[in-house]
Structure 1
Amino acid sequence: MAAPRRRRTAATDPESDIARRRLERRQASGRRSDVRWAEILAGAGRVFARLGYGQSTLEDVAGEVGISRATLYYYVGTKEELLVGLLHDPIETMRTRLEEVAALPLPAPERLAAALREYVRTMAELPELFVFLSENVHQVMTGPEADHIRDNADRYGRTLAEVIRSGAKAGEFRTDIDPSVAVLGIIGMFNWIHRWYNPEGERSLEDFGEDFIEMSLSSLTPKNS
């Protein structure tokens, strides 16, 4: 698959002194630990969840955080930078948790169930992932950090497919379903939890997750079992 062309923005092609300084701040190792930057990301997450990424503006984020547009501009120049900063660590956390589960010395069905429970647990702990699921973010993100997000998401899918593939080889899963296709179906189902989940409703994320895990395992169980 060809890599999408990257748009030229102030963040990636700094032509002004202000843009250059902002780029230097973004690349500085300490920015992620900066308290104000954390507040800005948290505010952006709330705005994107409430209004949708496409409808949100930097002015909306500044108002949510309680700072001026000029102050926000000191930290970030585009809405895209906020999205990348918001999703970078959660996507990596989800991927590393899956890889830890996939390496466990357990039968493939147990590893698959454990991996999907970790998926739901991570979504509950890091609600900013709902922004990733509800928006077609692959079409709006550019730059090295965005590439890192996409790489983590791709590695997640490959690792989950390998769990299913190992189960098929061991006779624990069906062999007539392509593991990559199975992953698309399973992740597609889990990714839509955010459409149905109501924090005020009777069913928790874990309730949805357990039902989906049962459906996933049942669909992969060998026909003669």
Structure 2
Amino acid sequence: MATRKRQSPPSDIARRRAERRLASGRKSDQRWREVLEGAGRVFQRLGYAQTTLEDIAAEVGINRATLYYYVGTKEELLVSLLHQPIEQMRVELEAIAAEDKPAPQKLADGLRAYVVAMSQRPELFIFVRENIDQVVSGEEANDIKQNADRWGRLLSQILQEGAKSGDFRDDIDTTVAVLGIVGMFNWSYRWYDPAGPRSLVEIGEIFIDMALSTLAPRR
């Protein structure tokens, strides 16, 4: 006789999300967005490890007790900030990888979507700056990691297609190539200045050209 698998209790993050959905209203939703945006600013300014919930409450202009209604830990805030944009990036790259286009165009489109996402969602810089495996845990955090891993595998798939078709060099390990290409974009969080002469998207176009030039077959 088969036994029924006992379901594990929901995580605190999942429970609080459910509570917010039940209590959803214009005022509550607006405050939650303010909390997330405030957390993103403080994480970027102070770094995740140095940030406290008191810092975030002060940034939003509420007291600690009010903040606790929306969130229990800063880990929950980080997960909430990153989950949707990283999932969206994975979905976009899946669509690009499935298109009937040459591999160089797919690579350019995929990297362009990535840099546009980073320019529009600066909280993604938190993801590339932090060792996500060490700062978050649980089902929701695993979703973030799985989406990010899937994104990397899709990019590797595009490079493999290009090597097979002759559009890219076939003597470069695709895993190393993906790490090198993505590293160019991710490392920009260390030096990129929004007030500088070039936007992040413009810098991304330079990186895309560099990646395509490096991968082009030797003549």
TM-score after normalising by structure 2: 0.88
| Structure 1 partner of 2:180 | 185
| Alpha-carbon offset, residue 56 of structure 1 | 0.6
Is the 8 Å Cα contact of residues 108 and 208 (structure 2) preserved in structure 1?
Answer: yes
Aligned match of 2:18 in 6, 17, 27? 27
| Residue in structure 1 matched with residue 35 of structure 2 by the alignment | 40
Pairing 1:115–2:110 present: yes
Q: Is residue 70 from structure 1 mapped to residue 70 from structure 2 by the alignment? A: no
Which of the residues 67, 87, 94 maps onto 1:92? 87
Q: State TM-score, norm by structure 1.
A: 0.86
- Once the two structures are TM-superposed, the CA of residue 31 in structure 1 deviates from its matched residue by 7.1
Output aligned runs, 1:194-213, within 5 Å: 194-213=189-208
Deviation at 1:219, TM superposition (A): 1.3
Which amino acid letter does the alignment assign opposite residue 158 of structure 1? R
Aligned residue for 1:217? 212
Distance of 1:178 and 1:165 partners within structure 2: 9
Do the aligned partners of residues 63 and 186 (structure 1) sit closer, same or farther apart at CA in structure 2, a change above 3 Å counting? same
**Paired letter, 1:107:** P
Q: Which moved more, 1:27-36 or 1:114-123?
A: 27-36
CA displacement at 1:168 relative to structure 2:
0.6
Alpha-carbon offset, residue 84 of structure 1? 0.5
Q: Which structure 2 segments of 5+ residues have no match?
A: 1-9
Alignment match, 1:53? 48
Q: Give the residue type in structure 2 aligned to 1:27.
A: A
In 2, Cα distance between the equivalents of 1:29 and 1:60?
22
User: Does structure 1 residue 129 correspond to structure 2 residue 124?
Assistant: yes
Q: Which runs of 4+ in 1 moved over 6 A?
A: none
When residues 134 and 31 of structure 1 are mapped into structure 2, their CA distance, relative to the original with a 3 A threshold, is farther
* Residues 1:164 and 2:159 are matched in the alignment: yes
Q: Tell me by how many angstroms 1:114 deviates.
A: 0.9
Q: Conserved in 1, the CA contact under 8 Å of 2:16 and 2:71?
A: no
Quick one: distance in 2 between partners of 1:23 and 1:206?
35
Q: Which of residues 139, 142, 146 is equivalent to 1:144?
A: 139
Task: Please give the per-residue CA displacement for 1:7-63, whole angstroms capped at 9, x wherever unaligned.
Answer: xxxx94xxxxxx7xx763323472797222221111100110111111110000001
What is the aligned partner in structure 2 of residue 7 from structure 1? Answer: none
Query: In 2 relative to 1, CA 29–148 (structure 1 residues): closer, same or farther, beyond 3 Å?
Result: farther
What value does the CA root-mean-square deviation take over the aligned residues? Answer: 1.9
Letter paired with 1:71:
T
Q: Write out per-residue CA displacement over residues 37-94 of structure 1, whole angstroms, 9 at most, x where no aligned residue.
A: 2211111001101111111100000011111101111221111111111111111111
Note the residue ranges of structure 1 that are not aligned, 5 or more in a row. 1-10, 13-18
* Identity in percent: 60
Equivalent pairs, count: 206
